[in-house]
Amino acid sequence: MSKISIVDLEVFYHVGVPDEERAQAQRLLLTVEMEHDFSQAAQTDDLTHTINYYAVTQRLLKLGEGRSWKLIEMLASDIAQLVLTEFQAAAVTVEVKKFIIPQARYVAVSLTRRTN
């Protein structure tokens, strides 16, 4: 299995436990690592045999429109499910970085999901 990574994609989503924190979209960085057998794409130079990382990126940039999450754990889970179902990754690891605690560079969660 091979891996395609999107590292530190900057998005602005409504996230936070208190209502006032969710009121404004806040900057998050997403890292998404997708496992996929792209050996056929490497042989044929054909995009249809791999995961189109541009399409994944565009989907993630729009994911937060009209939505909100209380927990970045739920957000990471939703992103993982989206990548598995819409882009047919064999497995995905998602990291969400949030910049909410002034004394820390960031707070992050990460999770890995596989297709059944």
How confident is the model over 62-116, as pLDDT tens digits? Answer: 999 999 999 999 999 999 999 999 999 999 999 999 999 999 999 999 999 999 7
Distances, alpha carbon 42 to alpha carbons 45, 51, 56, in Å? 6, 12, 19
Distance of alpha carbon 26 from the chain centroid: 15
C-alpha 66/C-alpha 63 separation (Å) is 8
In 3-state terms, what secondary structure has residue 39?
A: helix
- For residue 1, what pLDDT is reported? 77
Terminal Cα-to-Cα distance of the chain (whole angstroms):
16
Mean pLDDT over the full length of the chain: 96
List the domain range (segments joined by +) for residue 56: 2-114
| Total domains in the fold of the chain | 1
- For residue 116, what pLDDT is reported? 74
Q: Domain holding 44: CATH number? A: 3.30.1130.10
- The reported pTM is 0.94
- The pairing of strands 68-69 and 26-36 is unpaired
C-alpha 39/C-alpha 45 separation (Å) is 10
| Catalytic residue annotation | 98
